[in-house]
Amino acid sequence: MKQINWKQLGFHYTETDYIVRCEYHDGKWGEPVVTSDKTITLHLSATCLQYGQEAFEGLKAFRGADGKIRIFRMEENARRMARSAEGLCMAPVPEDLFCRCILLALENNLDYLPPYDTGATLYFRPLLIGITPRLGVGPGRDFLFAVIPSPIGPYYPVGFHGTPFIVNRRVDRAAPFGTGQFKVGGNYAASFRGTEAAHAQGLSCLFLDSVERKYIDECGAANFFGIKHGKYITPASTSILPSITNNSLMQLARDNGIEVEQRKVLLEELADMTECGACGTAAVISPISRVIDPDNGKIYEFGDEPGQVSKMLYNALQDIQYGRADDNHGWCRVY
């Protein structure tokens, strides 16, 4: 194991020894290649650069309390990347090839898998890009798939605490029936104006729907959920990325007798919620301490400490990921 100060790692890139890459040409995928070369030679007119043909994923491997290694819901990431690829007219990476590349990245970088008691994990960034040189508008026919591993630290190094958000009605993250339901870089670039403006004020950004601007869409780059009258409420929208973490939290809520509603959520419903949060791979749950609506002069307060349901769901998911609880849904691939 590498001599790394695991507890000082943030959510940023730390170079490992190897990445895995695989290319698609002439209608078929080649064999994965393990390499120490972290760079690529790319034509300037490649479709990923000219027309944004790019999709990515994010998932983690955990060293468990029993010393075993668990990769969380890897197959779901493979399926979501395939949907993203199809949405951008790219060749989907077959599920078995996707998982094989993740395992190769793990096996060749085991020294970077953090110890159990550090809160750190080994993060994988699968990336799919179009590499066909093309100036005429249209999709490429050649693709590069790569898996970039990096150890990352705990999202909350000083504790599980709330984050304040501000409502943004001036920037649309994604349009209905556009690319919002796919995990593609363009969605994140489109959100930067809103998120950076919020960060300049020490806040995070809450996006509303891009049609009526009255329904909650996403929390920056994460899904939203709230607890209202004891129910787990989360938005349903064609412009929202289907979060694997949110899907997992909804299932755990049901397992614990909490009713789940996936529907349009009016911003004003925050007044009736006892707690809410953003959820995703990086943080699992980022509790929301308050939501500021500057256009209407309203502030919805939830407190700096996470709510009881958020804490319960966060701990339940972490216990499965670290092997402290039974994995009744078969979410983890164990080694």
For Cα atoms 286, 288, 292, give the angle at the middle one, nearest 5 degrees.
Answer: 140
Query: Nearest Cα to 165, choosing from 268, 293, 30, 75?
Result: 293
Is the distance from CB of 316 to CB of 259 less than 8 angstroms? no
Note the Cα 221 to chain centre separation in Å: 7
Is the distance from CB of 163 to CB of 286 less than 8 angstroms? yes
pLDDT of residue 22: 98
Residue 156 predicted with pLDDT over 90: no
CB atoms within 10 A of CB 319: 14
pLDDT of residue 157: 61
Type and span of the H or E element at 308: helix 308-321
pLDDT band with cut points at 50, 70 and 90 for residue 154: confident
Q: Which residue has the tokens 């064609």?
A: 238
Instruction: Annotate 122-141 with b (16+ C-beta within 10 A) or e (fewer).
Output: bbbbbbbbbbbebeeeeebb
- CA 157 → CA 6, 10, 163, 306, distances in Å? 11, 8, 14, 15
Write the DSSP symbol of residue 200.
T
pLDDT of residue 158: 58
pLDDT tens digit sequence for 298-328:
999 999 999 999 999 999 999 999 999 999 9
Q: Which residue has the tokens 């075993």?
A: 68
pLDDT of residue 161: 85
Residue 159 predicted with pLDDT over 70: no
CB atoms within 10 A of CB 156: 16
Q: What is the mean pLDDT of residues 221-225?
A: 96
Burial class (CB in 10 A: 0-12, 13-18, 19+), 23: middle
pLDDT tens digit sequence for 176-221:
999 999 999 999 999 999 999 999 999 999 999 999 999 999 998 9
Q: What is d(CA 63, CA 61) in angstroms, rounded to the nearest whole number?
A: 7
- What's the N-to-C CA distance of the chain in angstroms? 17
> Could you give the 3-state DSSP secondary structure of residue 167?
strand
Write the DSSP symbol of residue 92.
P
For the chain, give the mean pLDDT. Answer: 96
pLDDT of residue 1: 81
Listed in sequence order, the residues at least 6 apart from 313 whose beta carbon sits closer than 8 Å to its beta carbon are 249, 252, 253, 256, 285
Query: Nearest Cα to 125, choosing from 54, 190, 173, 69?
Result: 54
The proportion of the chain whose per-residue pLDDT surpasses 90, expressed as a percent, equals 92
Q: Which amino acid is at 10?
A: G
Tokens of 69: 């290694």
Phi then psi for residue 204, to 5 deg, are -110, 165
Is the distance from CB of 186 to CB of 192 less than 8 angstroms? no
Give me the DSSP letters along 10-41.
-SS----S-EEEEEEETTEE---EEES-----
Q: Which residue has the higher pLDDT, 161 or 22?
A: 22
Residue 230 predicted with pLDDT over 90: yes
pLDDT tens digit sequence for 2-13:
889 998 888 889
